[in-house]
Amino acid sequence: MSAQPVNPNLPPDHVTVFIDGVEMAAPKGSMIIQAADKAGIPIPRFCYHDKLAIAANCRMCLVEVEKMPKPAPACATPVMDGMKVVTRSDKALKSQRNVMEFLLINHPLDCPICDQGGECELQDLSLGYGRSVSRFVERKRVVPDEDLGPLVATEMTRCIQCTRCVRFTAEIAGTYELGGMSRGENLQIGTYDGKPLTTELSGNVIDVCPVGALTNKVFRFRARPWELVARESLGYHDALGSNLFLHARRGEVLRAVPRDNETVNECWLSDRDRYSHQGLGADDRAVQPLIREGDDFRAASWDEALARAAQILRDNAADDLGMLVHPSTSNEEGALLARMAEGLGTGNLDHRIGQRDLSGDAVAAPFAMPVADIANAGTIVIVGSNLRHEVPLLHHRVRQAWRKGARVHVVNPVDFDFTFDVASKAIVAPSRIAAALGGTDLAAAVGEGERMVVIVGALAEAGAHAGAIRSAAERFASAHGAALCRIPQGANALGLSRHGVLPASRDAQAMLRDTRSAYVLYGIEPGLDFADQALALKALKGAQVVAFSQFACASTRAVADVILPIGALPEIEATLTNLEGIDQRAVPAGRLPGEARAGWRVLRALGGELGLDGFEFIDIAPLGASMQPRHVAVQSGQAPQVDGGLELAVAPAIYRSDAMVRRAPALQAHPLTLGPRIVVHPADAGALGVGDGAMARVSNHAGTATLQVTVSDQVAAGTVFVESGYGATAALTAGNVQVVPA
C-alpha cells in the first residue's frame, strides 16, 4: 500500500481495493465485507448484518489481507487504498473452517427436527466449511428456553451468540429487551427478567437469527420451507404499505416475511403485518352468500344473492342510498364502487368512516416528504399520534433521524412512550392541540430547524377537533418551511380519495345522521369500525343493507339484509396506494374460502345485474387499464357538537385496528393488547373519586360502559384516553364523557 492513490481518478472519499484479484472502488471507512458484497464476492458470516452495528464476534468472516500476519475479520476491517484481500486462500479457508468447528462444538445436532431446517444460515455454511465428523467428545451444554411471548419461539441451546437479536432490539426497536448474561462458555442470550418481548417489531428477531434459536411461534412445525410458495403482497393495516412475501401451502397462508424495499420498510416488518394472516381462518369468515329471512339468514346461490342485492339498490337508488367503504379497500374495488354510485345516481359515498370531524380539508393527501427522507430530517414535530402503534415503521424512521441528531417535538393529549428522546412536548387536551401548534412555546422550542417535518396522526385526524388541528398544522408547517405529512386514516385512504370514493353530497357522518333508506357496506365490521358506533348502528338497523364482507360477524348479521362474501387482500390481486402516493401491487397467495369471490368480481357481477355502464370487463387487466383518477368536489363537512364533561382522546389499539387483526389469536395474546380501559389524570381521578384499578361507569350521549380505570400523569388533565377497537369502548368514541365510580 503506497502513499499515493492507486487510482487518482477516484472521488476523494473512495479508495481502491483488490479482493480475490478484482479491482474495485470502495468508500473510505467501509469494511472489507461491504466491498465484497458490492462486488458479489461471497464471504461467510453470522454476526454481520448490514442494518446493525458491527459486533465482529462470530469470526466466520476471517480473510487473508496482504502484510497482515493473522487473518482479519472482514466485517470489522476497514478498507485502505491498495489493500489486497484474499477470501479463499489456504489461510482464510483454514481459519473459517476452524471457526465453524468451534461453533458446532455446542450446537445440537437436531437438523432433522429443527423448524429452521432448509433456511438456516448455519446449516448452509456448515455444508461448505464444516467437517464430516466432530472431534468434540465432551458433553454439549444445554441452555434453558425463555418464553418471549406469543409471537417468538425459543430454542436457546441452538444459539451461537451472534448477538444480532440483541443489537436489533437495542438499535432498531429501541427497547433494549435482549442481552447477554454470564461470560465465556456460560454466555446466554435472554431478557434477564423473563418477561415477553413488548416491542411492536419483535418478529424481526426471527429474520435476523442465523440459526433456529428464535423462530416464528405461529408458523412453527406447520410446514417446511421447500413446501411453500412465496407471493408478493403488502401490509394493509396502516398506510405505509410495507412490502412482504406471503408463504402459502396448497392455498393456505402460513406466514408473512418482509420483502426488501429501502424506500418503504427496508427489510423490516411490523408484528401486525407479520401475524395478521391468522385472521384469514377465523370461525366467522363469510364463506357463502347469505340472505335474511325474518330474524335469521339462509344460504343462497350467488345468482339469488346478487338479484336480491340489485333489487335493494334499484328500489333505493339516488339520494336514498348511502355507500360506506372501509379505508383499506383496494383501488380496483374503490373505482368500481365510484362507478356504481354514479350509475345509481347517488353522491352519498365515503370511505372516511372512522373520522368524526370532516370539516375543512379532511381528504387524505400524500406525504410532502418521502418516508426514507424522514430518517434524515433535522427537526420532527409529531401532532396527535401514538406513532409507535399507529405506523410502527414510520416511528422507526423517526428513531433513525433521532439517532443522527434530529430533535423531536410532540404535541399530544397523552405522553406516549416513544423509543427516542423528545426535545419538547406539550401534553394538552385535544381541544387545545390547535392552540399549542400556534403558540409561542412550540415555535421557540422548534426554532428555525432545517429539514423539518410535521407528522399528524390519528388522534388529531379522527378526533372531534380535527378540522381546527389540520388548519393549525398547515399554518405551522408553512410558517416554518416544514414538510406536512398527514397520516392517511386507512391503508388505502389515499388511493380511494384518488379514485373518487368521496362524497359529492353527504359524507359518512351526514348520511348516518340523516338516515338513508338503504346502505352499501363494503369491508366494514359495523360494530367496531365507525367513529360513532351508536349513530351508525341506529341508522343501519332502520334501513336495508347490502354488506360486502370478509366476515359474517354478529354486528354484520344484526344490520344486513344480504351478505356477499369477498376476499381479503392476501387472497386477491389488487393495488393499494401508500402514504407517499405510490401504487403498489399485491397478488393472491391464499385461496378464497368457500364461495367467497374477489370483491372486484362481485362488484362487476352486481354492476352487470343492474345494467350499469363500466362493468363490461371480465378480467382485472382491462379494469386496471380503464381506471383513471376521479375528481370529486368534496364539500366541507359539519364539525361535531362537543358535549360537556371530560374530553375524550381516542387512538386505535395497535392490535384491534381492523377486523383481520382482531381475529389473529397471537396478536390478541400480546402484552400490547391491554383490553378496554380508560386512562385518567391523577387530579381528575381524585376529583371523581376513582382509583387506579377501580371500575367506573363511563357515559356520553351515545352509550354507557363499565371500564377499569388506569390513573396516569401521562394523560393531559381534563382528558380521558380510550383505545378503540373493543366492543366495550365502541359507544364511547362518539364524544366527551362523564365518569362516576361503578
- Is the model more confident about 589 or about 11? 589
Could you tell me if residue 7 is inside a domain?
no
Could you tell me if residue 120 is inside a domain?
no
CATH code where residue 657 lies = 2.40.40.20
Asked if residue 563 and residue 696 are part of one domain, the reply reads no
Asked if residue 467 and residue 428 are part of one domain, the reply reads yes
Share of the chain above pLDDT 90, in %: 90
pLDDT band at 449 (very low <50, low <70, confident <90, very high): confident
Could you tell me if residue 603 is inside a domain?
yes
Asked if residue 384 and residue 330 are part of one domain, the reply reads no
Asked if residue 336 and residue 410 are part of one domain, the reply reads no
pLDDT band at 337 (very low <50, low <70, confident <90, very high): very high
CATH code where residue 568 lies = 3.40.50.740
Q: Read off the pLDDT of each residue in 612-635 and give the average, rounded to a whole number.
A: 94
Residue 184: the pLDDT is: 85
Asked if residue 154 and residue 274 are part of one domain, the reply reads yes
Reply yes or no on whether the pLDDT at 4 is more than 80: no
Residue 7: the pLDDT is: 78
- By C-alpha distance, which of 350, 358, 344 is closest to 329? 350
Asked if residue 191 and residue 160 are part of one domain, the reply reads yes
Residue 138: the pLDDT is: 87
Q: Are 568 and 660 in contact (CB under 8 A)?
A: yes
Asked if residue 473 and residue 513 are part of one domain, the reply reads no
Asked if residue 339 and residue 277 are part of one domain, the reply reads no
CATH code where residue 45 lies = 3.10.20.740
Reply yes or no on whether the pLDDT at 1 is more than 70: no
Asked if residue 84 and residue 31 are part of one domain, the reply reads yes
- Each residue of 265-306: pLDDT tens digit? 999 999 999 999 999 999 999 999 999 998 899 999 999 999
Could you tell me if residue 465 is inside a domain?
yes
Q: Read off the pLDDT of each residue in 372-391 and give the average, rounded to a whole number.
A: 97
Grid cell listed for 700? 356520553
Could you tell me if residue 642 is inside a domain?
no
Asked if residue 57 and residue 25 are part of one domain, the reply reads yes
Q: Read off the pLDDT of each residue in 434-447 and give the average, rounded to a whole number.
A: 94
CATH code where residue 160 lies = 3.30.70.20
Q: What is the DSSP letter of 557?
A: H
Number of domains in the chain: 5
Distance CA 388, CA 63 (A): 41
For the ranges 207-221, 255-269, 440-454, 549-563, the lowest mean pLDDT is seen at: 440-454
Asked if residue 716 and residue 657 are part of one domain, the reply reads yes
- By C-alpha distance, which of 673, 671, 674, 675 is closest to 149? 671
Query: Does this model's pTM top 0.85?
Result: yes
- Each residue of 112-130: pLDDT tens digit? 999 999 999 999 999 999 9
Residue 3: the pLDDT is: 58
Reply yes or no on whether the pLDDT at 243 is more than 60: yes
Reply yes or no on whether the pLDDT at 664 is more than 60: yes
Query: Which of 452, 486, 520 is the C-terminal boundary of a domain?
Result: 486
Which H or E run contains 393? Answer: helix 392-403
- By C-alpha distance, which of 321, 361, 665, 240 is closest to 522? 321
Q: Are 643 and 431 in contact (CB under 8 A)?
A: no
Could you tell me if residue 432 is inside a domain?
yes
Q: How many CB atoms lie within 10 A of CB 633?
A: 8
Length of the chain: 742
Average pLDDT of every residue of the chain: 95
Could you tell me if residue 573 is inside a domain?
yes
Query: Which of 281, 314, 346 is the C-terminal boundary of a domain?
Result: 281
Residue 326: give the domain boundaries: 303-355+493-626
- By C-alpha distance, which of 576, 582, 581, 618 is closest to 600? 618
pLDDT band at 49 (very low <50, low <70, confident <90, very high): very high
Reply yes or no on whether the pLDDT at 185 is more than 60: yes
Query: Which of 454, 486, 518 is the C-terminal boundary of a domain?
Result: 486
Asked if residue 500 and residue 481 are part of one domain, the reply reads no
* Residue 333 CB partners (closer than 8 Å, separation 6+): 522, 523, 574, 599, 600, 603
Could you tell me if residue 361 is inside a domain?
no
